Each structure stands twice: as C-alpha cells, then as structure tokens.
C-alpha cells in the first residue's frame, strides 16, 4: 500500500502514542520503509534518528547501529541538508554506539577503537569538551578488562569541564563506581557514587547507581544501605530484559549478602527474560550470576530441588531442577566468556566467571524482608503476631502452614498501609505456597501480589502475576472449582475480570485488545451485557492507533455482539429500556468511530457518531456528549459538509458551563466549519471569543 507524504507524516505522528518494544519498533520500521520509497531523505533521517533512540533505550541496541550508521552517512554526504540539532543528536548517539559495541564479542576490537577515535575527532571539530570522550575511553577500557587504565581515563575526565554532551549526574559516577569496586577502592566508590543515589538524571537513574553501589556497601559493612539500594534498584528494573545486567548485579547481591533464597526467587522470576536478551554481555552477566546462586544450592545438597518459571508472553519455560539449570548456565556462561576473552586477547571474563561461581557471603547476612528484620517495638500487634507465627512454623518444619501465614502477613501489611513491605512479603509467600503445593492458596496470593504491584504502579510485574494466575486456574486440581465465567477460587475474581485487569496493564496496545476481547467473550457467556459492551469498547479503543485487518476484525466481532444485544444492526438505534445499556452502546459506537477514522473510513465513522448521538443526548454524560459532537463536527468537515460541522460544533459549545474558559477543540472545530463556508468574519470573531490563534488551528 502506498502513502502520500502527508499520510506518512500522520502515521508517524501516531507512533508517539504507542508503547515501547516490538510494537513501536515495527511501526517505525514501516514508516522508514515508505519514506525511503518516496525518497523523503530529511524525513527518513528524522524517523531513523528517533528509531536509534528507541532501539538503544528499549532493549534492541543491535538495531540502533543500523539506523545510526544510515544517519551518519547521510549527514556526512550532505551536512547542509540537516540542522544543528541533528548534528548534536548524532554526537550524543555516538556515545551509545561506542559504549555498546564492546558488548558484542563478534564485533572486532579494532572497530570499537576506530569508532572511538572517530567520536573524538568529531567532538574536537565541533569545539566540544572531551569530557564524554574520556568517560567512554574509560568505559571501553573497563569492558576490555583493564580497570587501572579505565580509572586513568576517569581521572582525566574529572579534570575536564562538563558540557551539554556529557552523561548525566548518575551515569558518570556509575562508570567510576564499577571500576573502583573492581579495584577494591570501596570507600572511594561510595564517596563518588552516593550523591547520585537520589538525584535521578536520566531514565537509567537512580536504579543503575544503586545497583552499582551494592558490592561497595557490603565490603564496607553497610548492610542496611545495601539493602535499601537493592530495594530501590530492583523495584525499577524488574520485568524488563533491557535491565538484565542490573538484575545480575542484584542477583549477585543476594549471593554476597547471605540471601540465597531471595537469589533463587530472582532467578526463577527472571530467567525467561533471557529469551529477549539485548546483548551477549547482558546474557553473560545474568547467566553467570544465576549460576552462582544455583551453585550455592548444589553445595548445600539441594541440586534436586525443583524450579518453576512464570508465564511470559503466553509461554512458560519447562520445569527443571537446580542441578540441571546450574550445569546449563555454567556451560552457557563459559562459552560466552571464552568468546569475549578471545576477542579481547585476555582472560578477564573467564576470571570474573570463576570468581562468581566461587562467591559467598561477605560478612553477616543482611535481612531483606519483614520475616527476617528485627521488628520495631511499636510494630502493630497483628503483624508482629503473624511474623512470629511464621518463625515458629518454619522452625517446626511446617512449611505449608508457614507459607499460608506469610500470605496473611502480606495482607495484614497491606491493610496497615505498608505497601512496600506487603509487596515483599507477598513475593515470598507466593513462592512458598507454590513450593508447598498449595495451588488454590497460590492463586489467591498471586492476585494479592498483582494488586500490590498495581498500587505501586508496576504494570509489567502485575501483568506477569495475573497471567501466572490464569495459568494456575487451568490446573486439574482447580478445574472442579470453576464455573463458566468465574474463577471459583476464594479471593480471586472471575476470569473475565482477570482478563480486563491484564488489559489495563498494557494501555493502548494490540495485546490489550486481545485481553479485552477475552473479557468480553467471558462476560457474554456469563450474561453480563453491560460489562461485555464495555470490554468490546475498550478493545476497539486499544486498536485506534493501529492500522490493519486486526482492528477491523475486532470491530466486526464487537458489532455482532452489539447487534445481538440490541436486536438491531450496530449502526442503528435501540429501543431498549435500560438507559445504562443504551449509554454503553453509544459509548461503544463513539469508540468504533475513532477506530474507523484512524483507518481512513471517515463516512463510516460519521455514521457511528450519528447513531450514538440520540442515546448520548438522552442519557450520556455532558462531557462524553461534547466529545462525540466535536468528533462529529470534524467528520462532517472532512466529508465536505460544513453546515453540519457547524451545527455539531455549536451544540458541543452549548454544553460547556463556561465556554470562554473550557472550549478548545470545540472552538477549533467551529472556526474550521465557518471558514469552510467562507464566513471569515464570523470565524475571526470566534477566534477572538475563544482566544485562539493561527497556530492553534494548525496543531
């Protein structure tokens, strides 16, 4: 399908509302393909520059090298075609390219060093500080196994002025902390890194600097600081493959802090992320850290212990024993370390791997959960009693009872408003319940855990917990409890409700639409008509920004359901007596109009809005009616019917309590409708009345 330049730019604009990851990658790549076909060089440059950012920050660095190389070559061929901002952004992206190439052992060392030299020459020609260049010289030296040389470059960097191409206030000291820790200069590492722990700086901070400081804190006996840094870091990085290297640091923290059970939990939770690993170095870091944890359990004679992994993207890794996974990961790590060492010409990664596999606690164990920490004297009686009950049951070997009590502790902490501790307790409880074979209790605890994640705004972990819960509900031991459309397990909502909650963790995303569809079908089977309509509406809304047959197929299924509920076609009115059902049908039709408009089917969108208007005028919220009328005005105008557009815009404005303060889109729609009728004087008066200028009309 071909596109005009304007259509392509509109399509590109839509990508800004998409979630990150494969959906956004695919959308940008499609725009790039069409821009190249139309020979829109500047536009193709703009989209590729953004794609480089998206890939580099979104866990797909190998893709970023392709788009960056294209942009760099285009700029070098014809620099006059591009602006100063483009040049500055290219120099900024140079840092990512240099910093990432060494993460791929198949990339020759000479290529990384040549790119570093190119970066330095470009910075010099532009009159920029060498601060960023020196930092990345240090980063490369560290990656190649030369921490002393790395520290030399960082000291040079510290004597050089910062400028607007320098890394943020967290990433610069983070580089130094890693090297100083490797050199055993722990106090110095803390002095340099600690001020950045709460300063933010970029999307990698402050969780990265907190991960970087973990070992230095442990080596200096600052266990409580290490525990807090671990909590801050882990909360931000869990659930995303792009953070695997930092997850590895936190897994090793569990080894060094005397928390092997916590480490094993992290391995079980995050091992599936290796299927999305961004770089071979990330893979080496995580597999070696995971192998270190598993090796400890083997040494304790627990090699036969079973491991079960969560469902990710609808898939679950097969169960394995500790010994099986340990041997697999040790072999995988050694092969990776050998590849890096062969490229680098030393044994750096092999030595680090050996050190990790032989690692153990550094000093006394560091308490990490409410079950281990000393309770304060003012602790609530309910929580204290339950925690003490867990301790007694654990000491007596009553693992099932202790697991159930852990879940009660999590619920009690939630009731007490101590959300962070409740979340930590629920994470431990859900694993303990699963190991004890208490499937129904595990399901209920998964739901509690999901709610705690949502309260903490952790969407991906919440989704993972809910998906794991749905998988548990498929097990034979729970199937006898289930009725159609329900979960049937105490403390767990119905299946459609679970699908709806999963959908909400995605936002506007095709996977959200799929979950809303599953919810709608379940509500239909249970006879919950209004909930069914709402779920179909949300499914349609989730696909509004996406082109293609899937969106129209979803709409067709929803239309059939609406027709069955109303006894008429989806584009006609309804004589149903239930105002709530009428309103739900009208809201669905407005959502359908938005999807159709996004597909370029403007006339069909207008018809949906016209069908929704009567019910919305009788029963709907004034704000929702105003949105409908504004959309209808825009559709009429696009179909060359300015009088009808004017009528809808004026009707929308009449709904506002104070149009002069609240009007925006409604007023813009009216001005466009008046201008389309050559009533320029009235249009100018409307602009004055609603404080609009020409820029407002073209945004």
In whole angstroms, give the CA distance from residue 591 to residue 174: 47
Bridge-partner residues for 315, per DSSP? 312
Q: Does residue 485 carry a pLDDT above 80?
A: no
What domains are there in the chain, each with its CATH number? Answer: 381-493 (1.25.40)
State mean pLDDT over 454-469: 88
Q: Does residue 217 carry a pLDDT above 50?
A: yes
pLDDT, tens only, 122-133: 999 999 999 999
Bridge-partner residues for 312, per DSSP? 315
Q: What is the pLDDT of residue 472?
A: 86
Q: What is the pLDDT of residue 441?
A: 92
Closest listed residue to residue 65, CA positions, set 93, 40, 106: 93
pLDDT bin (cut points 50, 70, 90) of residue 569 is very low
Q: What is the pLDDT of residue 325?
A: 97
Task: Tally the C-alpha atoms within 13 A of residue 94's C-alpha that lie toward its C-beta.
Answer: 27
Q: Does residue 330 carry a pLDDT above 90?
A: yes
Task: Tally the C-alpha atoms within 13 A of residue 264's C-alpha that lie toward its C-beta.
Answer: 25
Q: Does residue 110 carry a pLDDT above 90?
A: yes
Across 207-216, 293-302, 485-494, least confident range: 485-494
- Of these ranges, 11-15, 66-70, 472-476, 622-626, the one predicted with the greatest mean pLDDT is 66-70
Contact 268, 307 (CB under 8 A): yes
Return the structure tokens found at 455: 């309260």
pLDDT, tens only, 152-186: 999 999 999 999 998 887 788 888 899 899 999 99
Q: Does residue 655 carry a pLDDT above 70?
A: yes
Contact 480, 445 (CB under 8 A): no
Q: What is the pLDDT of residue 476?
A: 76
Any idea which residue has 């509500």 for tokens? 523
State mean pLDDT over 414-419: 90
Q: Does residue 197 carry a pLDDT above 90?
A: no
pLDDT, tens only, 340-399: 999 999 999 999 999 999 999 998 999 988 887 666 665 567 888 898 899 899 889 999
State mean pLDDT over 266-289: 94
Q: Does residue 203 carry a pLDDT above 90?
A: no
Task: Tally the C-alpha atoms within 13 A of residue 206's C-alpha that lie toward its C-beta.
Answer: 17
Q: What is the pLDDT of residue 99?
A: 86
pLDDT bin (cut points 50, 70, 90) of residue 314 is low
Contact 258, 372 (CB under 8 A): no
Q: Does residue 243 carry a pLDDT above 60?
A: yes
Query: SS3 of 177, please?
Result: helix
What one-character-per-residue DSSP string does 340-368 give? HHHHHTS-HHHHHHHHHHT----SSPPP-
Across 328-337, 373-382, 464-473, least confident range: 373-382
Q: What is the pLDDT of residue 487?
A: 56
pLDDT-above-70 percentage for the chain: 93
Closest listed residue to residue 278, CA positions, set 71, 502, 25: 25
Q: What is the pLDDT of residue 206?
A: 84
Q: What is the pLDDT of residue 577?
A: 62
How confident is the prediction for the chain on average, in pLDDT?
88
Q: Say what the alpha-carbon torsion angle 80, 81, 84, 86 is, to the nearest 10 degrees.
A: -140
pLDDT bin (cut points 50, 70, 90) of residue 478 is confident
Q: Does residue 196 carry a pLDDT above 90?
A: no
Across 101-110, 134-143, 471-480, 624-633, least confident range: 471-480
């Amino acid at each position: 399908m071909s596109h005009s330049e304007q259509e392509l730019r509109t399509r590109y604009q839509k990508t800004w509302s998409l979630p990150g990851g494969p959906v956004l990658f695919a959308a940008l790549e499609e725009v790039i393909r069409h821009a190249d076909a139309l020979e829109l060089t500047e536009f193709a440059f703009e989209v590729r520059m953004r794609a480089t950012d998206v890939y580099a920050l979104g866990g797909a660095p190998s893709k970023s090298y392709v788009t960056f190389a294209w942009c760099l070559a285009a700029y070098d061929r014809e620099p006059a075609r591009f602006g100063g901002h483009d040049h500055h952004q290219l120099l900024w992206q140079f840092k990512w390219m240099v910093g990432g190439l060494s993460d791929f052992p198949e990339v020759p060392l000479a290529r990384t060093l040549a790119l570093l030299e190119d970066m330095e020459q470009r910075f010099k020609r532009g009159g920029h500080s060498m601060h960023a260049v020196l930092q990345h010289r240090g980063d490369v030296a560290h990656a190649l196994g030369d921490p002393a040389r790395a520290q030399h470059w960082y000291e040079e960097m510290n004597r050089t002025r910062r400028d607007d191409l320098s890394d943020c206030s967290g990433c610069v000291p983070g580089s130094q902390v890693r090297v100083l820790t490797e050199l055993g200069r722990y106090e110095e590492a803390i002095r340099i890194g600690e001020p950045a722990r709460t300063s933010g700086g970029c999307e990698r901070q402050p969780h990265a600097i907190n991960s970087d400081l973990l070992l230095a804190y442990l080596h200096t006996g600052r266990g409580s600081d290490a525990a807090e840094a671990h909590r801050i870091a882990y909360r931000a990085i869990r659930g995303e493959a792009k953070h695997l290297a930092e997850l590895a640091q936190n897994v090793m923290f569990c080894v060094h802090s005397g928390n092997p059970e916590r480490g094993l939990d992290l391995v079980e939770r995050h091992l599936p992320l290796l299927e999305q690993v961004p770089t071979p170095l990330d893979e080496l870091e995580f597999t070696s850290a995971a192998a270190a944890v598993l090796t400890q359990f083997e040494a304790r004679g627990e090699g036969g212990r079973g491991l079960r992994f969560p469902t990710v993207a609808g898939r679950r890794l097969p169960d394995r024993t500790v010994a099986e996974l340990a041997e697999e990961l040790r072999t995988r790590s050694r092969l990776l370390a050998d590849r890096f060492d062969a490229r680098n010409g030393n044994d750096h990664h092999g030595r680090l791997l050996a050190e990790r596999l032989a690692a153990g606690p550094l000093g006394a164990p560091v308490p990490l959960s409410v079950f281990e920490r000393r309770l304060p004297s003012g602790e609530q009686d309910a929580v204290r009693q339950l925690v003490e009950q867990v301790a007694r049951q654990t000491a007596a070997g009553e693992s099932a009872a202790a697991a159930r009590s852990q879940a009660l502790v999590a619920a009690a902490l939630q009731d007490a408003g101590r959300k962070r501790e409740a979340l930590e307790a629920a994470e431990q409880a859900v694993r303990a319940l699963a190991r004890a074979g208490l499937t129904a209790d595990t399901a209920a605890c998964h739901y509690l855990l999901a709610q705690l994640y949502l309260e903490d705004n952790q969407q991906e972990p919440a989704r993972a917990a809910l998906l794991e819960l749905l998988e548990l509900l498929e097990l034979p031991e729970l199937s006898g409890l289930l009725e159609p459309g329900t979960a049937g397990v105490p403390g767990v909502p119905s299946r459609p409700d679970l699908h709806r909650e999963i959908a909400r963790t995605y936002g506007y995303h095709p996977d959200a639409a799929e979950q809303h569809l599953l919810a709608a079908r379940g509500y239909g089977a249970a006879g919950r008509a209004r909930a069914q309509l709402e779920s179909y509406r949300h499914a349609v809304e989730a696909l509004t920004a996406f082109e293609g047959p899937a969106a129209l197929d979803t709409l067709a299924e929803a239309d059939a359901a609406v027709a069955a509920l109303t006894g008429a076609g989806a584009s006609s009115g309804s004589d149903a007596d239930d105002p709530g059902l009428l309103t739900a049908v009208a809201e669905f039709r407005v959502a359908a109009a938005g999807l159709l408009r996004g597909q370029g089917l403007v006339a069909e969108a207008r018809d949906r809005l016209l069908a929704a208007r009567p019910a919305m005028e009788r029963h709907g919220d004034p704000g929702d009616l105003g949105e409908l009328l504004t959309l209808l005005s825009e559709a009429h105008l696009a179909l060359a019917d300015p009088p009808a557009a004017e009528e809808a815009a004026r009707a929308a404005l009449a709904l506002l309590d104070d149009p002069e303060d609240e009007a925006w889109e409604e007023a813009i729609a009216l001005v466009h409708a008046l201008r389309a009728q050559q009533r320029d004087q009235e249009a100018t008066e409307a602009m004055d009345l609603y404080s609009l200028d020409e820029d407002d009309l073209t945004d």
